[in-house]
Amino acid sequence: MVNKIIIVISLIVLISVYVIEIMGYAACDLCLKQRWAWYLALIIASIPFFITVNFNKILLSIISIVLFCNAIFAAWHAGIEWDLWPGLGTCNSSMIFDNNNLLETLKESSVPICDDASLRIFGVSLAGYNFIVSLLTSIFVLITLRKKDGSEKT
C-alpha cells in the first residue's frame, strides 16, 4: 500500500512540474536536479510490482532517505531564491557582460536562473513546495516503517 502511495505522489509531483513548464515557466538547473529524487522514488517504489522481492523495508528506507535529502536540497534552493545565502556561480541573476564574448552572454541569459523563482503560489516557490512534499513524504514513509510490523505488503 505504501508503495502505491509513493508512486501516486511521485507521479503527481512529476506531472505537475511538466504542466507548469508547458504553461511557460521554465525550470532552472537546481529545479531539474530536484526531480531526480522523485524519479528514483518512483522507480524504487515500483520494484516490488515487477520483481518479487522480500526486502520492501529496505526499499522504503532508501526512498525515505532519498526524499529527506531532496528536502534538504530543496530548502537550500529556496534559501537561494530568498537571498538567504548565495547559490552556485552558475545560478545567480547578476550577469557580468563581457564585450569580447557578448554573443555567449546573450545565449546564457535565456537560461532560467536559480536565485529568482519563476513562480510563487501563495508566496511559496516551487522549491519551497518541493521541500514540503519531500519532507512530508519522507516522514510518512519513516512512520510507516516504524509501525509494529515494519513492513507492509504491496
Reported as a single tens digit per residue, the pLDDT across 27-54 is 888 888 899 999 999 999 998 888 876 7
**pTM recorded for the entire structure:** 0.76
So what's the pLDDT on residue 117? 66
The average confidence (pLDDT) of the chain is 80
Residues of the chain with pLDDT > 90, as a percent, come to 37
pLDDT the model gives residue 64 = 95
For the chain, what are the domain ranges? 2-145
Q: Compute the chain's Rg from CA coordinates.
A: 18
In this predicted structure, which of 17-26, 76-85, 87-96 has the lowest mean pLDDT? 87-96
> Taking CA 143 as the corner, what is the angle to CA 39 and CA 40, rounded to the nearest 5 degrees?
10
Q: Whose grid coordinates read 548565495? A: 86
Quote the pLDDT of residue 53.
Answer: 66
Residues 6 or more apart in contact with residue 68 via CB below 8 angstroms: 134, 135, 138
Q: What is the pLDDT at residue 106? A: 45
